Amino acid sequence: MREGVKLPKVTFKVRTGDQAPEDGGCPIGGAWVDKTTDDYFKGKRVILFSLPGAFTPTCSSKQLPGFEYNYDNIKGLKIDEVYCMSVNDSFVMNAWAEKMNICKVKVIPDGSGNMTRFLGMLIGKNHLGFGNRSWRFMAVINDGVIEKWWQEPGINNDGVDDDPYEQTTPENMLAYLHGPHTQTR
């Protein structure tokens, strides 16, 4: 992917309003809501980072909590919102955010991988039993157009267990946002 590219029109199936029963169990009682790329990106300057999967080691121990920890600093640098996207369904993304005590970063469920595929980041992790997943990337998106793009080196598909985490860190994002360029919302 490259800077200056407009995001494709994609609809995400998002689950809202589910409540866990008092005696435990799975959250129920909510509804499906269609959210589009316009809902997330139109008229806003946002951060989007994507990772291989909810409840996975690097995603859960470093990347998502790192963006949550740095959320206020990032928002203070002319950013409207921070989104974490993964090729997981909305039930999984919501449960992961809850389990991780994520209150600031918003999760986007790309359950069918449509957005990830359009961005050229859909990879196969069948050898791990994951099926299709996202390669790790992050971007600054300004009114639906990619302003800045990072992705991890190589794009490993089936049979490779490499999961680098060097380029798509909140620290790299902060360094860019503190840089000499002046962006507007």
Establish whether 84 is a catalytic residue. Answer: no
**Set 26, 59, 84, 103: catalytic member:** 59
Other CB atoms within a 10 A radius of the CB of residue 36 amount to: 12
β-pair type (45-51, 137-142):
antiparallel
- Structure-token pair, residue 130: 């994951």
Who contacts 157 (Cβ-Cβ below 8 Å, separation ≥6)? 123, 124, 125
Cα angle 48-30-24, degrees, rounded to a multiple of 5? 100
Active site positions, annotated: 59
